[in-house]
Structure 1
């Protein structure tokens, strides 16, 4: 009898339903786009089920939510967004969904690049001198890794008095702040610390797991950063100039000493002017830029126009703000970062 009971229990334990129940995640999380969703998955592990609102190869600047997206947001235990004006549609979506929480803004604590008059202004680091411990990575008194990190409505980084994320129909630039912080892996370390703190708050029983996962992933990010510097350093400094679709790689350029030219600014929601295009064509001719790159989530039209006028050669596709499909070259953040660096180095060197 005991043998039969054990056998029945063993059979039930192997059924898909039993396996699903045993592996059910403790937390339902929603992230605004694939790059962020992947980092949340790395920290959350099996305790967190992560849904990305913007899908693979999708442009987070001009996202249009579906009813399914609204439902996912409504049922979420926690919501993550990058911030700095990237998700101009987020406030409207929260209002439509009835989600009553406050999104975790993972870029809180990162000193943004400021865009003014088509030119970027770095705060906190020179192109080659961005250090893991510099002031540009944290505000005074802000602890990225502590359990006491408050993501509530009263937190200065989350309270937006009089500030509408969804204003101007997606053209919100947040005073010219560049939102593409993830293209510097050191900034993603700040994301990780904020995600660890937020998940630990909503799921205290998993705090040790989140902390351990975060520490392991931070080590991988540090290794990726060191590898990237070695790769880019193999390119002569005067050849580190490339043309891309829009200004999404400023943080990467500042970190590794690469100059990026782009007809569009920090958002793809607005078109480049004829004057912008003419200026870039002149700069390419003057600075002897060797190669151009398309981006997976944006139109290649302007880049093709400029390339045709200047004779620069194609360097391939970069993943700026969206991961690839799982069978593509950039299905995770770290794979995306490695792929982009390899493509850039090859293009700057003029490899065939």
Structure 2
């Protein structure tokens, strides 16, 4: 597949994710962490316009100069922008105008990609592809939050199929102590936070071959897990009490039976499916209740070489920090990952929202410990 074909395929998938939506669904922002679907479609288009078309296509004319202010996310180098919490206030540009913007930029990109591209442009294109795939994951996650917090619990897509593998009977596999290499190696694309490859020493450890299931997590709830302060970090215990947390996100108890909202609508809890939409605090407390712990990101990566896993983004016990030798790129693209390396936990794996081909064992996702709107799950270690 050439670059032009790959570009069109990725761009088409973003719009396919939005096909089941009504116009009103495109503009909702229930919380700061969730961006309206319309904004995702515009922002990913702005990325190609700003970082590829403007510098590499001399004849290109901006679709609308105001869109830099509307669709810039966090790039200080590129200028001022709409405050993140105000994205849901953008009744304009309209949904139709955003789709016109996408078509306009796609046409200009097709013209640019019809000519030979050099190594520098190829690197930026691959970053743009992966950036849009990241937003496809966020797009589906945000759509689920938007619909899942609607009191009617509307169905996103009746034909939606969760592509994650059902959890198998868990076994603990042992990994011997030793010096291991972690981080990306190869000639393909990776994000800067996956570099540089380096050695780490690991003690003996064992790690589960399966994710924690809804049934196992329900046992934790029924055993009083959310009422036992000794299982929680102090910060996590404050979070539970201040927010009255009693179950994973999207779980509801109706007439003494547990249900959860899925992309197929409100469903009875599938006890065998992996638990998802839990915070790091909850993952830690559950592991403590089991007398176990969460794996570090390096334990996870080494064990992943032996197992096929990653059905949910999985919390690790590792802080999100730079690898040895990490350096930020100059300019706006240097803001992509490095400036977020504080007060966050690393997640490893992938999720049901991850586009095909976007996952790899060295991929480092990162979120603040209280967040759980992503498809986050639990794997245990000891």
TM-score by length of 1: 0.27
TM-score by length of 2: 0.26
From the two aligned structures, give the one with the greater helix fraction: 1
